[in-house]
Amino acid sequence: MFGKFVFAIGTFAAIGVFLLVDHLNVTPVAESLGNSLVDRKGKEISISEIKEKDYILLYFSASWCPPCRKFTPELVEFYDDHHEAYNFEVILVPNDQSEDDAIDYMRDYGMDFPSIPFTDYGARQKIQKMYGARGIPHLVLLNKDGRVLSTSYDGTKYLGPQIVLGALQNEIRE
């Protein structure tokens, strides 16, 4: 009897949370990003701008990382060519040493996509725990519900970020 009561309470609580989240139109991805994002000038961008996107690419990267500096121009070109047609957004998760380094990296490489603010350590840590991996550059493709569709890693094996761009193209074609 007690077990059924706990199950019923848990079920109603879960329904209540589902309705609250649905009412607020909060996706798991947007909810984990903190309160705002920043552009390459350091200007604050509202999280609400990404809620309408079908796909999110989380880009774990840093200016001090040679493989990141090699891949970033490819990602920027892909973004510039396809983000509107594919209805996706890239969000940089900076692993730099300072806020200035992160902003300079975005500016120097022409990243027109937003970043989690370097100063929002809590949001960066939360995203790292949810979607991060052992190394960078690391790219994670999520649908709007926060489900991982592709990642630069297969378990502990590093596949590279290009495989994730291919997965996004495959998703769009389907």
What's 62's domain CATH number?
Answer: 3.40.30.10
154 in a structural domain: yes
Note the pLDDT tens digit of each residue in 62-111: 999 999 999 999 999 999 999 999 999 999 999 999 999 999 999 999 99
Note the pLDDT tens digit of each residue in 25-59: 334 666 667 678 888 888 888 888 788 899 999 99
- What is the span of the domain harbouring residue 37? 28-173
What is the distance between the alpha carbons of residues 59 and 62, in angstroms, rounded to a whole number? 10
Which position has the higher pLDDT, 66 or 12?
66
* Among 11-15, 135-139, 167-171, the least confident range: 11-15
pTM over 0.85: no
Residue 16 has pLDDT above 70, yes or no: no
- CA–centroid distance for 148 within its chain: 10
Torsion 60-65-69-74 (CA) sign: negative
21 in a structural domain: no
50 in a structural domain: yes
What pLDDT does residue 7 have? 42
10 in a structural domain: no
12 in a structural domain: no
Q: What is the crossing angle of helices 162-173 and 66-86, to 10°? A: 10
116 in a structural domain: yes
Residue with tokens 């001090």: 64
32 in a structural domain: yes
4 in a structural domain: no
Nearest to 58 by CA among 140, 135, 134: 140
Q: Where are the alpha helices (DSSP H) in the chain?
A: 2-24, 28-32, 66-86, 99-108, 121-131, 162-173
Total domains in the fold of the chain: 1
Write out the DSSP string of 60-86: EE-TT-HHHHHHHHHHHHHHHHHHHHH
- How far is residue 43 from each of residues 36, 121, 145, measured CA to CA in Å? 10, 17, 27
Parallel, antiparallel or unpaired: strands 55-61 and 138-143: antiparallel
- The type of residue at 30 is A
- The type of residue at 84 is E
